[in-house]
């Protein structure tokens, strides 16, 4: 459809991801602009905070105890002892970091290029990835999908995390190697995984991810684009493009 629009001046993604546009036939000279937040940041921060509390307070283990009619209070674990690591320190990653820091969680971040986020211990590049991973107990992936990140969450990466770490994948489904995840969970290397995104959505009912007791699945609801802030961003970007400028979010 994009190739049939001879006067196309810009392509807007109604979300933070653009892999669906990059993989489509399109006029290569036309700029692509993605949304930077549009109400998604606070939703994503809440989603991550929910799961941070869930595992910090051992609610996953208490649910198992309930099924076994087992009464077994555990020692309280302080927020400051759960080290949260964010893969992908873009706009959404920054908002997630703010939410975690506000509740007292120590936050680390990693990206391919240098980033500075107040209060976050930042790492960058392949040579610093292992240092980031070995300190991370709650790994939050907000990575985009491209040739450099496809299958990035794999066995080698899981082996660099502390034993019984937890994975949250909120970026793109193709970043995760599902077979390696299932193996890491079966071997008890990972404690649990929370998955909100998948290569095929809806996730097929036959997919083994549905059935693993240590996997929590949500149907791509970590953050939804809100109409009013999205429209405001797009209008502003159109004004900037019309004046010959480069809007925020342009690839």
**Residues noted as catalytic:** 172, 220
- The size of the chain, in residues, is 251
Give the chain's end-to-end CA distance (angstroms, integer). Answer: 21
CA separation for the pair 58, 155 (Å, rounded): 25
Question: Running DSSP on this structure, what letter comes out for residue 143?
Answer: P
CA separation for the pair 90, 36 (Å, rounded): 9
CB half-sphere exposure, 27, CA atoms < 13 A: 14
Q: Identify the helix (H) or strand (E) that includes residue 233.
A: helix 227-242
- Based on the number of CB atoms within 10 Å of its own CB, is 163 exposed (0-12), middle (13-18) or buried (19 or more)? exposed
Question: Running DSSP on this structure, what letter comes out for residue 176?
Answer: B
């Amino acid at each position: 459809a994009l190739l049939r629009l001879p006067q196309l001046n810009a392509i807007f993604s109604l979300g933070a991801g653009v892999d669906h546009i990059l993989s489509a036939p399109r006029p290569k000279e036309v700029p692509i602009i993605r949304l930077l937040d549009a109400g998604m940041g606070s939703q994503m921060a809440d989603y991550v905070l929910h799961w941070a509390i869930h595992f910090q307070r051992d609610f996953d283990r208490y649910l198992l105890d309930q099924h076994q009619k087992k009464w077994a209070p555990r020692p309280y674990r302080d927020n400051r002892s759960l080290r949260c690591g964010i893969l992908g320190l873009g706009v959404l990653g920054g908002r997630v970091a703010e939410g975690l820091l506000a509740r007292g969680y120590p936050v680390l971040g990693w990206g391919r290029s240098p980033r500075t986020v107040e209060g976050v211990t930042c790492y960058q590049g392949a040579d610093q990835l292992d240092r980031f991973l070995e300190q991370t107990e709650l790994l939050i992936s907000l990575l985009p999908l491209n040739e450099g990140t496809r299958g990035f969450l794999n066995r080698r990466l899981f082996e660099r995390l502390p034993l019984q770490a937890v994975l949250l994948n909120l970026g793109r489904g193709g970043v995760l190697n599902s077979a390696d995840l299932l193996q890491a969970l079966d071997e008890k290397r990972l404690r649990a995984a929370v998955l909100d995104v998948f290569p095929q959505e809806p996730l097929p009912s036959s997919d083994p991810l549905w059935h693993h007791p240590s996997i929590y699945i949500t149907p791509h609801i970590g953050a939804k684009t809100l109409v009013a802030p999205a429209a405001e961003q797009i209008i502003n970007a159109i004004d900037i493009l019309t004046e010959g400028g480069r809007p925020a979010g342009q690839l």
